[in-house]
Chains A and B, each alone.
Chain A
């Protein structure tokens, strides 16, 4: 899937400890919100991580964003348009 035009990109700053990926991915799965791509790496301070999510841009995006913000370990969420290069650059590793 190289056409991301129907997608939005979410950038989450989270606490870097075990379980945070379960909390985030579990939330999207149980609320039936499809995640097309995930990228997660610790930040330089090692205390936090960044999770990048490639998600469908539909009318429920605000709702799922609000639900994600309720997670204790999620500190910030920013939304980027689908033209953001993060996942486009990742494509070379999956094709």
Chain B
């Protein structure tokens, strides 16, 4: 069979089960786009390549499977960079395919030439500059294998235009790339873990995204219940425990509850399950869990001992470990410790307002959650709204939560929600955003309108870069610098300008009624929710401080 490089790419992507690709064409990607019509793949044209990268991330986070984005050379590729870096920090399997100037022009500063290979090196698990169409037979399956194996992550494939056009003769297509089998815990490791857990009086689980990745959320909750082990979640590990679970203390770290940070001070065994001891979670690491032995279960060998020296390290699939422990451990109750946790949750949990005034951000989030129900995938941008959501959103299943953790990328939320709406259309894609973040990728609202997606954007609007303002208020003597948006755009009107429904709670006589109507309106909807700029996220651990030195409230 005679086939061009570009046709081969599309064929191989189809065989990998790819049905939707977000992207934006350009000169060096024309052969790829020429091969798209007539394929089984639906292309989602974004308004900016960064949107395409985040749509792919949104798809990958909600499905757990690799997702693909396309861009052209030069600015197309550089616009993808932020999204690929975001996927890298949060271990999301995204495959970026970029066009490149013809091989003969590489290195000549040709029009729209940039060293995409060089730019992608530090933000991918692996990347390629493809030298011939034959190489694609190896590279495309390898891209899927690498992106989804072990600790997942993004890969990037740069394909010069002449390679896309090159016609080759092939007899058969290669098998699709699949994840390689994960290392399993040894019997000795299992026995050591069992012994450590059995001997601990005050164990704590620290639950990370690795648990979600290994499809073992339910097993982990069952293990915690069987052995009487309370748990904190990392930011990305939220949604493993269903909300309100009595053993769960919510998120730890910079904006975790006081109770969770007290419990970590008191625990005598910390079980890090699929976590990397990020500084926003641990605070000053030398003072993190001072009394505890550390059991670290982690698939990525290089994370073991990187920041926290473990007492016992198990470099294996966390899912296999949890399931084996669940089957082999004798039940334990730990009545005293569990009741201590309950007391801490009741007395030092996140303090919610007693009224349902929709000018309070917690009330907004709780009311939105109540209206939209459980059949919703929840996204945020980055800032105060993100932390408030992480603190109180009532998650019911894993992969319900999608937010930019490691890189903290404003502009993530809306395109990621579009990705979730495309990949999981039976569920609403909710995006809780802020007036700062939403403007970073607002153009993709037009993409949501084009495809009439079930995307609901709630803009919690304090006309400020709120989390920066908060740090200036707390740590820079209220010397407010460059955080005042002064006037924000009329977001509701902007949604209408793009052909969607827009609502503004500042114009409502009954705010809850308007919110309910808005969230029940089909298709893309944007809702502006004004709040006071004085609202802050508490508790807060000052950057660089130990978690025990958190600030409980203003002027406390």
B105-130 contact mask (Cβ, 8 Å, vs A): 1 or 0: 00000000000011001100111110
B118 x A67 contact (CB < 8 A): no
The residues of A that contact B118 with a CB separation of less than 8 Å are 22
Q: Are A19 and B146 interface neighbours, CB within 8 A?
A: no
**Is A66 interfacial (CB-CB < 8 Å)?**
yes
If A19-B117, A66-B301, A66-B302 touch, whether A30 touches B128 (CB-CB below 8 Å) is no
- B121 nearest CB neighbor, chain A only: A26
CB-CB nearest in chain B for A29: B122
Is B451 located at the chain interface by the 8 A CB criterion? no
Instruction: A30 to B121: give the CA distance in the assembly, Å.
Output: 10
Number of interface residues of B (CB under 8 A): 17
A69 within 8 A of B: yes
With an 8 Å Cβ cutoff, the count of chain A residues facing the other chain is 16
Per-residue CB contact flags for chain A residues 22-48 toward chain B (1 = under 8 Å, else 0) read: 110011001000000000000000000
Judge if A18 is at the interface, Cβ distance under 8 Å. yes
Residues of A within 8 A of B305 (CB): 62-63
B301 to chain A: closest residue by CB: A66
Looking at A26, A27, A66, A73, which has the most chain B CB atoms within 10 Å of its CB? A66
Q: Answer whether A23 and B131 are a contact pair too, CB < 8 Å, given A62-B305, A66-B302, A72-B126.
A: no
Q: Is B507 an interface residue (CB 8 A)?
A: no
Assembly CA distance A23 to B122 (angstroms) = 8
Residue from the set A18, A30, A72 with the largest chain B CB neighbour count within 10 Å: A72
Distance of A10 Cα from B306 Cα, bound (Å): 20
A22 proximity list for chain B (CB < 8 A): 117-118, 121
Point out the residue from A19, A26, A63 that lies within 8 Å of B302, measured CB to CB: A63
Q: Are B129's CB and A18's CB within 8 A? A: yes
Once the chains are docked, how many angstroms separate the CA of A63 from the CA of B308? Answer: 12
Q: How far is the CA of A30 from the CA of B85 in the complex (A)?
A: 14
On whether the beta carbons of B131 and A26 are closer than 8 Å, the reply is no
A26–B122 CB distance below 8 A: yes
Q: How far is the CA of A50 from the CA of B302 in the complex (A)?
A: 22
Q: Is the CB of A72 within 8 A of B131?
A: no
Q: Is the CB of A72 within 8 A of B121?
A: no
Determine the chain A residues whose CB is within 8 A of the CB of B306 once the complex forms. Answer: 63
The answer to whether A19 touches B301 (Cβ under 8 A) is: no
- Give the secondary structure class of B's interface: mixed
Neighbouring B residues of A27 by C-beta, 8 Å:
122
Contact flags (1/0) for B346-373 with A, using CB distance below 8 Å?
A: 0000000000000000000000000000
Inter-subunit contact A72/B302 (CB<8 Å)? no
Residue of A nearest to B302 (CB): A66
Interface residues of A in 68-84 (CB under 8 A from B): 69-73
Distance from A25 Cβ to chain B, minimum over Cβ atoms (Å): 9
Is A72 a contact of B122 with CB atoms below 8 Å?
A: no
Complex-state Cα separation, A26 to B131, whole angstroms: 21
Decide if B125 touches A72 in the complex (CB within 8 Å).
yes
Residues in A with CB closer than 8 Å to B146 are 72
Taking a contact as CB atoms under 8 Å apart, the answer to whether B122 and A30 are in contact is: yes
In the assembled complex, the Cα of A18 lies from the Cα of B107 at a distance in Å of 14
Residue ID in chain B nearest A26 by CB atoms:
B121
Contact in complex: A70, B302 (CB < 8 Å): yes
B301 contact set on A, CB distance < 8 A: 66, 69-70
List residues of chain B with CB within 8 A of the CB of A69: 301-302
A72 and B143 alpha carbons, distance in the complex (Å): 11
Q: How far is the CA of A18 from the CA of B106 in the complex (A)?
A: 14
- The distance from the CB of A10 to the nearest CB of chain B, in whole angstroms, is 15
What separation, in Å, do the CA atoms of A73 and B124 have in the docked complex?
Answer: 13
Q: Tell me the complex Cα distance, A62–B305, Å.
A: 9
Once the chains bind, are B128 and A19 in contact (CB under 8 Å)? yes
Nearest Cβ on chain B to A66's Cβ, whole angstroms: 4
B302 touches A67 (CB 8 A): yes
A44 to B31: give the CA distance in the assembly, Å. 39
- Would you mind naming 28 contact pairs between A and B with Cβ atoms under 8 Å apart? A18-B129, A19-B117, A19-B128, A22-B117, A22-B118, A22-B121, A23-B126, A26-B121, A26-B122, A27-B122, A30-B122, A62-B305, A63-B302, A63-B305, A63-B306, A66-B301, A66-B302, A67-B302, A69-B301, A69-B302, A70-B300, A70-B301, A70-B302, A71-B126, A72-B125, A72-B126, A72-B146, A73-B126
Given contacts A19-B129, A66-B301, 17 further A-B contacts (CB under 8 A): A18-B129, A18-B131, A19-B127, A22-B118, A23-B126, A26-B121, A62-B305, A63-B302, A63-B305, A66-B304, A67-B302, A69-B301, A69-B302, A70-B301, A70-B302, A71-B126, A72-B125
Q: Which 6 pairs across A and B sit closest by C-beta, in order of nearness?
A: A66-B302, A72-B126, A26-B121, A67-B302, A30-B122, A66-B301
